[in-house]
Structures are given as structure tokens and as C-alpha cells.
Amino acid sequence: MEANEIISPENLVYKKPTLMNDVPMHYCPGCSHGVVHKLIAEVIEEMGMEEKTVGISPVGCGVFAYKYIDIDWQEAAHGRAPAVATGIKRLWPDRLVFTYQGDGDLACIGACETIHALNRGEHIVIIFINNAIYGMTGGQMAPTTLIGQKTSTCPYGREPALHGYPLKITEIAATLEGTCYVTRQSVESVAAIRKAKKALRKAFEASMAGKGSCLVEFVSTCSSGWKLPPKKANEWMAEHMFKFYPKGDLKDTTED
């Protein structure tokens, strides 16, 4: 059988979503950011919300998310994305409004904005890329860095006496009355990606239906920060991160 027989529009099974443009992404090889960007683009397209979505990008590796997905964006100051999203969603209530934030942005400098936007039940989706390290600035400790994990500012491993404990902000979010859907996912395998996409779609739909605020965490890798090639980074994540940050839905009141 000729290759041409197979390569034909009616046989198309998968391609990069149209909403994701052709600008080459600056993320490191194997970085989870790329996969999550794809899922966001796919879900917006499938919901038909291309013309009614506003994304808010963070400070961190994801700062340039606005270059890669063809919707309107706002770039927020470090940690302030949930406040920026509040301003937009309150005044354009029929828009899909989501933030895209890393662990420093969301759980450190922005912890207050994160908790309060979620607690107020703003109808936004907060997307949390948790790779337990500060990637963009060169691999420093994050609030979610694991005990014993080595980073440039805890080169001998994170110790509670010196550095305090990893912060489980998603667990905190699940206790807040304003949230309707809080979930933890990952994107290192086909099975995980399929679950993650369903979770993201659920969150986007819940926010449009006005059910409350949503937090979707993606436990992710950082090859550069962890100093591991992509496949090994996925393995390290599965072995260490999933234990401390267990996957699944922490709260789901979307059917109530």
C-alpha cells in the first residue's frame, strides 16, 4: 500500500490544533508546557470559544504563552493573574477567562491572589503548571519543591528546618467554598493526557456555567531545572511527584 493512499484528508486522525499557531515554542525539549498548551487550544476549539476567550499569562516560562495560542491575552505581573482575570471576567461575564501559571507565580508571590480569587468563586479557571522548580530564572527552589529535592537554592536538598515544607496549595483550594472543581492531572502518557483533557474541558465548562472557580493542576517536568532528559524526567516525576501530589479530582461539585 502506497503512503499516499493513507495520507489523505479523510484519513486524518490527529494534527496540531489550528488555534495553536506555527510560531516555534521556546520551551525546552520535552517540556510539559507544550502538551498543556495543545490541550488548551484543542478544548477551546472544541467548545467553539475561539472568539470569546481571554487568557492571562504569568511570569515564568509560560510568560510567552500568548505567542502560541491565537486568542486575546493579557500578560499579568508576577502572581497577579487571578486578580487580572477577576477584572476581566467580572466585566465580560460571557467570556471564557483562564489563567496559566507556574508554581512560583501561583503558589509563592501570588498565593494570596490565588486563594482569594478561588475563594470568591470567580468564574475563572486557574491552570497550574507544577514542576516543583523555578524554570525560567535558572532552577531555584519553588514552594512545591519536594523534601530532599536539589535545586540551585537548596543544592544539598530541601530541608524543613532551613526551607520549610512543600506547599500543597491545590489541597488548600479544595477546602475553599468558592471552588467547584479542583483537580490534579499530568501529561506524560497518552492515558494521562486523555484524562487531563477531559478535566480541562470540565473546568472550562463549569466556569462558563457559573458553577464557581476551578483549579486544574498539571504535575509537570522541568528537564533543564531537574537536569534530566525528558524520558528520565517523566520517570522521576512518576516516582516522586505523584506520591506527594496525588492525581485525581480533589473536589467536584459541578453536578450539584
Partner 1 sequence: MAEQEVTLMKGNEAIAHAAIRCGADGYFGYPITPQSEVIETLCALKPWETTGMVVVQAESEVASINMVYGAAGAGKRAMTSSSSPGVALMQEGIAYMAGAELPGVFVNVQRGGPGLGTIQPSQSDYFQATRGGGNGDYYVITLCPSSVQEMADFVDLAFELAFKYRNPAMILSDGIIGQMMEKIVLPPYKPRRTDEEVMEQCPWASFGKKRDRQPNIITSLELRPEAMEVRNIHLQEKYQQIRDNEVRYETQHCEDAEYLIVAFGSAARISEKAIEIAREEGIKVGLLRPITVWPFPTKEVIAYSKGKKGVLVAEINAGQMVEDVRLAINGEVPVEHFGRLGGIVPEPEEIVEALKTKLMK
Partner 2 sequence: MSKIKGQILVNTNRCKGCALCVDACPKDVIALADKKVNVSGYPYIEAVNPGNCIGCASCAIVCPDGCITVYRKKMED
**Contact between 51 and partner 1 per CB under 8 A:** yes
Alpha-carbon torsion 156, 159, 161, 162, what sign?
positive
What part of residues 20-39 is at the interface with partner 2 (CB under 8 A)?
20, 22, 24-25, 27-35, 38
Rounded Cα distance, 222 and 72, in Å? 27
Chain-centre distance for alpha carbon 146: 19
**Contact between 23 and partner 1 per CB under 8 A:** no
Q: To which residue does cell 470567580 refer?
A: 122
CA distances 204 to 58, 77, 90, 183, 201, Å, are 19, 23, 16, 13, 5
# residues contacting partner 1 (CB under 8 A): 31
Per-residue mark of binding to partner 2, 182-201 (x: CB under 8 A): -----xxxx--xx-------
Alpha-carbon torsion 204, 21, 50, 118, what sign?
positive
Supply 62's cell numbers: 509560560
**Contact between 88 and partner 1 per CB under 8 A:** yes
**Contact between 74 and partner 1 per CB under 8 A:** yes
Element spanning 181, H or E: strand 179-186
**The total number of residues written for the chain in this structure:** 256
Rounded Cα distance, 101 and 150, in Å? 22
**Contact between 47 and partner 1 per CB under 8 A:** no
The only residue of 37, 38, 80, 247 in contact with partner 1, by rule CB under 8 A: 80
# residues contacting partner 2 (CB under 8 A): 36
Shortest gap between Cβ of 24 and partner 2 (angstroms)?
6
230's contact among partner 2, partner 1, none, with CB below 5 to 8 A by partner kind, is partner 2
Task: Phi first, then psi: give them for residue 159, nearest 5 degrees.
Answer: -120, 130
Of residues 24 and 48, the one with the C-beta less far from partner 2: 24
Of residues 171 and 235, the one with the C-beta less far from partner 2: 235
Partnered with residue 248 across adjacent β-strands are 184
C-alpha gyration radius of the chain? 18
Of residues 197 and 251, the one with the C-beta less far from partner 2: 197
What part of residues 216-235 is at the interface with partner 2 (CB under 8 A)?
230-231, 234
Residues near partner 1, by CB under 8 A: 50-54, 56, 63, 66, 70-77, 80, 83-88, 90-92, 95, 112-113, 116, 120
Residues near partner 2, by CB under 8 A: 1, 3, 5-8, 11-17, 20, 22, 24-25, 27-35, 38, 187-190, 193-194, 230-231, 234
